[in-house]
Amino acid sequence: MKSHILTITLNPTVDYCTTSDRIEPNVKLRCTEPQIDPGGGGINVARAVRLLGGQATALVAIGAGTGAHLLQLLALEGVPTVAFQGPGETRQSMSVIDSSTGQQYRFVMPGPVWEEHDVPRALNSVDQATTGDTLVVLSGSQPPGVAKDFPSIMADHVAGRGSRLIVDTSGPALFHLAEQRRDSLYVLRMNDEEGEELAGRPLPTRADTAGFARSLIDKGVARIVIVARGADGSVMATGDGAWHAVCPPAPIVSKVGAGDSFVGAFTLGLSREDPVEECLRSGVAAASAATMTEATRLCDPDLTAKARRDCVVTQL
Ligand SMILES: Nc1ncnc2c1ncn2[C@@H]1O[C@H](COP(=O)(O)OP(=O)(O)O)[C@@H](O)[C@H]1O
Ligand SMILES: [Mg+2]
């Protein structure tokens, strides 16, 4: 691996996943022993990188007792972690599968509210953990209280240290990033819904998605723009061209973690200096593999390798 990978998680969670016979109101719902996992965008990207044979350091904001629990879970998973003090107490999330229907109910807490003075601490921790050509990944929802320009500020910080930033975000932060020319952002990735919201129009065909991704490249928003197309894979545009990659359709078990698996595999490819269209192939294969396993599992390495062999990459 030529470049080191650092993932950032401002709003991590301790995820509890359990099953109940039937979900109904006003009664005690007896649940099975939960599976407990560390979660949050950046943490999942680091776990995906590790599953695929690479190594990434997770930089995580933690708070109070649940923060300590999170660190323990990360240590058990073998994910190298750098922690810094975030506000309040690290959040918990809960998903419950109703075994009579197979439906999954996901309860997601907002996480502690950030104050203005928490942001410089995060930037400082990133500065300290970034050396030379580090690939820094900012993925997952912004905590409440963090301003929409945070990813833009982060891009300037990271580029100022000679490193590269990969951002997967949504909502106001995504809109803010897409508003202006920004030589400091290396990769901007979004899913199909986020792309259509940002474009302000539906993107039904690959050509539509590619046209939109190219328009962001032409505006100078990032060096590489990736827009997912659900089961139809992903489109990538750079200054040199545009590509589409897709894997053959497979039955969906759970889409949870597919986006983070994409980002993990794509970034691992970048760190190995693979050609960028091969990084796209790896990302699409890992996302596809993640949809084939249950919610708590990310990209299984064998399924990813098979999906990669079957993945079709086309220059547009
Ligand atoms: N049915 C499917 N088959 C294969 N890949 C899929 C399917 N649905 C979604 N994907 C891929 O999974 C990824 C989901 O990304 P995203 O929506 O960001 O996920 P997340 O919920 O983890 O944020 C995308 O790369 C998308 O192309
Ligand atoms: Mg996503």
Domain holding 294: CATH number? 3.40.1190.20
Q: Which ligand is nearest to the CA of 286?
A: 1
Check pocket membership of 37 for ligand 1, CB cut-off 6 A: no
Radius of gyration of the chain (CA): 19
Residue 20 lies in a domain: no
Active site residues: 260
Give the residue numbers spanning the domain of 248.
4-11+40-89+115-315
Do the strands 4-9 and 312-315 form a parallel or antiparallel pair, or are they unpaired?
Answer: unpaired
Query: pLDDT, tens digit, for every residue of 197-241?
Result: 999 999 999 999 999 999 999 999 999 999 999 999 999 999 999
Is residue 82 very low, low, confident or very high in pLDDT (cuts 50, 70, 90)?
very high
Q: How far apart are CA 56 and CA 78, in angstroms?
A: 10
Instruction: State in Å: Cα 228 to ligand 2 middle.
Output: 9
Flag whether pLDDT at 295 surpasses 90: no
User: Once rounded to an integer, what is the mean pLDDT over residues 91-111?
Assistant: 92
Ion ligand 2, residue ranges at CB < 5 A:
191, 259
Are 166 and 189 in contact, with CB atoms under 8 Å apart?
A: yes
Residue 194 lies in a domain: yes
Flag whether pLDDT at 40 surpasses 90: yes
- Whole-prediction pTM: 0.95
Query: Considering only CA atoms, which residue is closest to atom 3 of ligand 1?
Result: 231
Query: pLDDT, tens digit, for every residue of 94-103?
Result: 999 999 998 8
Instruction: State in Å: Cα 307 to ligand 1 middle.
Output: 14
Residue 104 lies in a domain: no
Phi, psi for residue 6 in degrees, rounded to 5: -125, 125
Check pocket membership of 231 for ligand 1, CB cut-off 6 A: yes
Question: For the stretch 226-242, what's the b/e string if a residue is b when 16 or more beta carbons lie within 10 angstroms of its beta carbon?
Answer: bbbbeeebbbbbbeeeb
* Total structural domains within the chain: 1
Check pocket membership of 260 for ligand 1, CB cut-off 6 A: yes
Residue 26 lies in a domain: no
Check pocket membership of 230 for ligand 1, CB cut-off 6 A: yes
Q: Which of 42-56, 200-214, 242-256, 300-314 has the lowest mean pLDDT?
A: 242-256
Residue 138 lies in a domain: yes
Q: How far apart are CA 10 and CA 167, in angstroms?
A: 13
